[in-house]
Every structure is written in C-alpha cells, then in structure tokens.
Amino acid sequence: MSERLQPGDPAPAFSLPDADGKRVSLADRAGRKVIVYFYPAALTPGCTKQACDFTDNLQLLAGAGYDVIGISPDKPEKLAKFREKESLGITLLSDPDKAVLSAYGAFGEKKLYGKTVTGVIRSTVIVGEDGKVERALYNVKATGHVAKLIRDLELAPAGGEQGD
C-alpha cells in the first residue's frame, strides 16, 4: 500500500512523457503552484468529466497561478486520443509503471463496487511554489471535484460577485 502524502511533505519529483511523448517534470514547474491529479483511465466517463472540468476552469486556475497536470497509467497514444476527442487543454502524463502514482499514494487498495481491488486511487495533490505538498486529497469523486477544489482554494468569486 502506498503511503499517502501529508501537507508539508516534499512533493515526489517526476519526469514522465506527455500525450506527445515529450518529457514533463515537476521541476519544470518550480516556482509555480501545481495541481497534480491522478485518474484511472482516459476515455472513461468519470475521467472524461473530471478532465473536462479542469479544462473548463483552466483559465481561472492559471490566473490564480496554478498549473494542472493529470497523470494516469495510460500510454501517450491513448492520452493524445483523449486530448483530441475531448479538446482538453490540460497537461496529461503517462505513468504506465505506476511509479509516480505509487510515490504520491495514488495507487493501491481501494473499494470498487464493494470489493477490495488494487488500482489507481482518484487523488489530487496541490504542490506549492516551494515544491512542498499543500493539500493531498484521496478518493475524490470525478464529478464535482473541480468545483469543490475551486471553492476550497477560495478561487470562486464569492456570491457570484467579482471582487476586483
């Protein structure tokens, strides 16, 4: 079972291929806040909803200084299909050996339809500009997670009013 990360822990370094096979590392984002989210499989209903929600809110998140990176065990070719089919604007990375998933506590035992199985645990880790974990959320729901994250990070305009 992978150890779950806690706020204050150093975020595990990674360098993984994106949908185009180009390597992307956490070190490339040094000095920025990064939302790293882990999902089981591209082109499935829940994962599609979550990826589209992140893409739909990318401008708000980027404006608040956040980069978004989605990581799954899928191969880059499948990630490219996913990105094209759903017009995704977020960075998708491939972790077929699940080393990064494991390092982030996002791979291990989970409940699926009442059975205990081993697999990807839908998780979101927010890494601060200093490379340390600010928040680590495990067993998140695909639907509504991005909206909740935006509320928790206090990025949503209060009461629908823009506070500028």
Please report, for the chain, the start and end positions of each structural domain, with discontinuous segments joined by +.
Answer: 9-153
Confidence of residue 160 (pLDDT cuts 50, 70, 90): very low
Residue 2 confidence (pLDDT): 56
pLDDT in tens, 16-52: 999 999 999 999 999 999 999 999 999 999 999 999 9
The mean pLDDT value for 143-156 works out to: 90
Class of domain 9-153: alpha beta
CA distances from 18 to 14, 25, 96, 101, 149 (A): 12, 10, 12, 15, 24
Residue 157 confidence (pLDDT): 60
pLDDT in tens, 107-147: 998 887 889 999 999 999 999 999 999 999 999 999 999 99
The mean pLDDT value for 101-108 works out to: 96
Indicate which residues carry an active-site annotation. Answer: 47
pLDDT in tens, 57-100: 999 999 999 999 999 999 999 999 999 999 999 999 999 999 99
In single-letter form, the type of residue at position 26 comes to: L
**Own/partner pairs for 22-29, CB < 8 Å, 24+ apart?**
24/69, 24/91, 24/93, 26/127, 26/131, 29/67, 29/69, 29/127
